[in-house]
Chain A
Amino acid sequence: MPTTKSDLIDDISERLRLPKGKAELIVNCIFDEMTRALQQDERIEIRGFGSFEVRSYKAYEGRNPRTGETVKVDPKKLPFFKVGKELRERINGEGDGGEGARPNSAKQARSQEPRADWHTGRGERADERDDEPDLGEPARGSSSHHGGFTPA
């Protein structure tokens, strides 16, 4: 399971059979776009995932909790995320899995949608993923696996 942006890019590249460079462009594009929206004080709503909004704070006199010293805090804006209903339920093992899963039963096996081949119509690699060993970086050839997509 991906835990950093580059893991996420690897995963997307595999699932969609895209060259890694392309997957990277896509992932960067998505988060750049979201950053841009927040910069313009736009709210972001991604159904099933959650929403982001920017909250503005006035300047205030704060205190350094360690030294007790008074410090002036400038006005600032901060992004806030609120988890969506579907994701909240999935994280808590509710919804499609029934009520079985409690917090702590961290790694339930889930059926992974074999959507890797949505653009080629083939579908042979549905189950390679679940028992991938947890070795950090499985050496993946960066350009060995991609069939479909070549940019026009």
Chain B
Amino acid sequence: MAKMTKADIIEAVYEKVGGFSKKEAADIVETVFDTIKQTLENGEKIKISGFGNFVVREKKARIGRNPQTGEEITISARRVLTFKPSQVLKNALNGGEPVN
């Protein structure tokens, strides 16, 4: 199955938005993801309407188990990032209108 990478997104911005060079398009896309990352790094969520919400959740420390050895280990407190797709995106994946 085909795979989309950042390069494809840069290409799309270059072609569909237009008005700048490929190098500039690459910097722009980099900045967009960088901004999102910085926000999440601060523990804040990002809500992209029509796509979904990225939410940072705090997990408490808990006792886990090595499934191979049965040994108990403490899993330290950590933050995890979850993505909750919007209804629009879910519809789009299930026969909704194609995005153009």
The main secondary structure of chain A at its interface with chain B is mixed
Within B81-95, the residues touching A (CB, 8 Å) are 81-83, 85, 89-90, 92-94
Query: In the assembled complex, which residues on chain A have CB atoms less than 8 Å from the CB atom of B20?
Result: 119, 149
> How many whole Å from A26's CB to the nearest CB in chain B?
5
A-B pair number, CB within 8 angstroms: 189
Query: In the assembled complex, which residues on chain A have CB atoms less than 8 Å from the CB atom of B80?
Result: 83, 88, 91
Query: In the assembled complex, which residues on chain B have CB atoms less than 8 Å from the CB atom of A8?
Result: 32, 35-36, 39, 46, 48
Interface string of A126-144 (1 = CB under 8 A from B): 0000000000000000000
Instruction: Check B1 against A43 for contact (C-beta < 8 Å).
Output: yes
Instruction: Check B8 against A33 for contact (C-beta < 8 Å).
Output: yes
Within B57-100, the residues touching A (CB, 8 Å) are 58-59, 77-83, 85, 89-90, 92-94, 98-100
Instruction: Check A92 against B28 for contact (C-beta < 8 Å).
Output: no
The main secondary structure of chain B at its interface with chain A is mixed
Within B4-53, the residues touching A (CB, 8 Å) are 4-6, 8-9, 12-13, 16-20, 24, 27-29, 31-52
Closest to B77 in A: A103
Binding site for B on A (CB under 8 A): 1-5, 8, 11-12, 15-16, 22, 25-27, 29-50, 52, 54, 76-81, 83, 86-88, 90-92, 102-104, 106-108, 110, 112-113, 115, 118-119, 149-152
Binding site for A on B (CB under 8 A): 1-6, 8-9, 12-13, 16-20, 24, 27-29, 31-52, 54, 56, 58-59, 77-83, 85, 89-90, 92-94, 98-100
